[in-house]
Amino acid sequence: AQSVTQPDIHITVSEGASLELRCNYSYGATPYLFWYVQSPGQGLQLLLKYFSGDTLVQGIKGFEAEFKRSQSSFNLRKPSVHWSDAAEYFCAVGERGGGADGLTFGKGTHLIIQP
């Protein structure tokens, strides 16, 4: 079964600084990979996804992520964060061929933005 590890429970960055959130997965083949963001009191919103092809994927709100097969990683990056980026970020892996429980989520990284 697939699993997802987000090593950082909390990350604090200054507004305008660059950001990288780490995600490592365990899966026997090339997975589907996702990043979702959850603002306080809200549901989750899809930021970006990787299915195949170009390993650098662009998402909404200026985010990007790079799939690195050799490192089993799918880290999320943003060159310059804004205060509105403060939220909980979840990495998820999906099983090719579908499957009822489709996505396995990491435990999330809480992003704090310092002024």
Partner 1 sequence: GAGVSQSPSNKVTEKGKDVELRCDPISGHTALYWYRQSLGQGLEFLIYFQGNSAPDKSGLPSDRFSAERTGGSVSTLTIQRTQQEDSAVYLCASSQRSATNSPLHFGNGTRLTVT
Residue 59 touching partner 1 (CB under 8 A) = no
Name 64's Cβ contacts closer than 8 Å, sequence gap at least 6. 48, 56, 57, 58, 76, 77, 78
Does residue 22 touch partner 1 according to CB under 8 A? no
Minimum distance of partner 1 from residue 114's CB (angstroms): 22
Least Å distance between CB 50 and partner 1? Answer: 11
Among 7, 16, 79, 99, binds partner 1 (CB under 8 A): 99
Give the closest residue to 105 by CA, choosing from 7, 4, 2: 4
The answer to the question of residue 46 lying near partner 1 (CB under 8 A) is yes
CB of 68 to partner 1, least distance (A): 20
Residue 112 contacts by C-beta under 8 Å, 6 or more apart in sequence? 10, 11, 12, 13, 86
Beta bridge partners of 87: 111
82 three-state secondary structure: coil
- Verify binding: residue 32, partner 1, rule CB under 8 A: yes
- 56 binds partner 1 per the rule CB under 8 A: no
Taking CB under 8 A as the criterion, the residue among 11, 19, 86, 103 binding partner 1 is: 103
